[in-house]
Each structure stands twice: as structure tokens, then as C-alpha cells.
Amino acid sequence: MAEQLEEETMAPEPEKEEEVTDMNGAVRGVLKRALQVDGVIRGLHEVAKHIEACKAQVVFLAESCNEATYKKLIQGLCLEKNVPVVDVPDNKSLGEWAGLCKIDKDGLPRKVVGTSCVAVVDFGEEGEAYNYLMKNLSK
């Protein structure tokens, strides 16, 4: 009984960060960490409000968005407020990385809702993904 109790009270091992080799991996890693500290803003209206208030630190915009005015609005606001914009190929992937899905018992995403823009207001812990993203944004 004492052994079983010891196993339950042990702290979980820290999650090992996966190696980042491309921009999509960096976006996924940054959004994962930002979700943990409630630093992710999703949707046009909320993202626009946070850009205007100078709270957004980086904005991810889906290239698959078929609404040209949507893209122009976000890009214009970001240009005006000097917020970096990172293009992501697919809105379904961006939605999944931003937490707009259900996770089934096997840990696989289900019912993924696509989103065309996501802003990060708090990165949480800086890690390999954050460093990769910042290095590529400074170029």
C-alpha cells in the first residue's frame, strides 16, 4: 500500500520538447506553450482587438483563407502596429494547434475547427520552438 501511494505522489516528468526543424514545427510548439498559459487569441474579431491594443506579440495567418479582405485587414493592422505575421499553409492545422478541437481517448484530434488567424499574447516558457521562431522573424 505504501509503495502505491509513493507512485501516485511522485511529480510527473517534465515533457520533453520535440526538436524543431521547420517553421510549422515552431508554430506548433509556440502555440502549445502559449495554450498552457492562456496566451492564445483566436478569431478575426478578438485578434483585431488585441492587435489594436498592442497586446499581440505575433500573429499566425492561414494562407488557405479564401477571403482577401480578411487577410488584408490582419496584414494591415499588423503592419501599422509592427506585429510580425507568420503564414501557415492550412487553416485546419492552425485550428488544431490553437486548441480548436476535441482530443479523443487515444490522444488524437477530432472535430477540428479551422481558423484563419491566431495571435499570441503570452508565450509562456521560452523553448526551442520560441527561439527558432524569433530567429526566423528577425531575418
Backbone angles phi, psi at 40, to 5 degrees: -110, 130
Q: What string of DSSP letters covers 11-32?
A: PPPPPPPPPP-SHHHHHHHHHH
In angstroms, the CA 99 to CA 2 distance is 38
Closest C-alpha to 16, from 7, 29, 26: 29
Whether pLDDT at 61 is above 80: yes
Return the domain boundaries, the chain. Answer: 23-137
**pLDDT single digits (tens) 92-138:** 888 888 877 777 777 676 777 778 899 988 887 888 888 888 888 77
CA angle 132, 137, 139 (to 5 degrees): 105
Instruction: Tell me: pLDDT of 14 over 50.
Output: no
pTM of full prediction above 0.85? no
Q: How far is residue 134's CA from residue 139's CA, in Å, rounded to a whole number?
A: 9
Q: What is the dotted CATH code of the domain comprising 23-137?
A: 3.30.1330.30
